[in-house]
Amino acid sequence: MYFISVESALCDEGLTFTDLKGTIKEFLRQMFGQDLPIRFRTSYFPFTEPSAEVDLQWNGKWLEVLGCGTVDPNVLKGVGLDPEKYTGFAAGFGVERFAMVLYEIDDIRRVYASDLRFLRQF
C-alpha cells in the first residue's frame, strides 16, 4: 500500500501557530464547502514544533486528515533563514482522506483494492 500526500509550507516574518490554525480552517472550509467540525490534537513531527494533527468530524466520527506545525528554528537555519527574523508553518494532507470525505467513501481500503467497479465511479 502507498500513501499520497500534498505538502505545503510558508515562511515569513511574524507567522504564528494562530496563523497556521486560521489558514487550515479556511482551507478545509474551501475544500469541503461547509464548516465541518474540526479539532487540532497535539502531535509530533520531526521538523515542526509545536506540531498537531487535524481531524474532521465526518459521518459521526473523527477522521484524521492532515498534520501540521510551526517550522522548527533549526530547519530555518538549515536553509539559510534567520529564525530570529523569520517563522513559518507547514502542513501535509492525505489525498485519500480528502477523497473519502468529498466522495463519501465509507472505507479507505476501497481506494487501494483495485476493484474496477468501484474505481470507474471516479
Averaged pLDDT of the chain: 91
- The Cα–Cα gap between 73 and 86 comes to 9
Q: How confident is the model at residue 19 (pLDDT cuts 50, 70, 90)?
A: very high
Looking at 1.25.40.20, 2.40.420.20, 3.30.930.10, 3.40.630.10, the CATH number of the domain 15-116 comes to 3.30.930.10
What pLDDT is stored for residue 9 in this prediction?
A: 95
Q: What letters, b where the CB count within 10 A reaches 16 and e where it falls short, cover 6-40?
A: eeeeebeeebebebbbebbeeebeeebeeebebeb
Q: How confident is the model at residue 1 (pLDDT cuts 50, 70, 90)?
A: low
Share of the chain above pLDDT 90, in %: 62
Q: What is the pLDDT of residues 84-114, one digit of tens each?
A: 999 999 999 988 888 888 888 888 888 888 8
Q: In this predicted structure, which of 5-14, 48-57, 92-101 has the lowest mean pLDDT? A: 92-101
- The Cα–Cα gap between 120 and 116 comes to 6
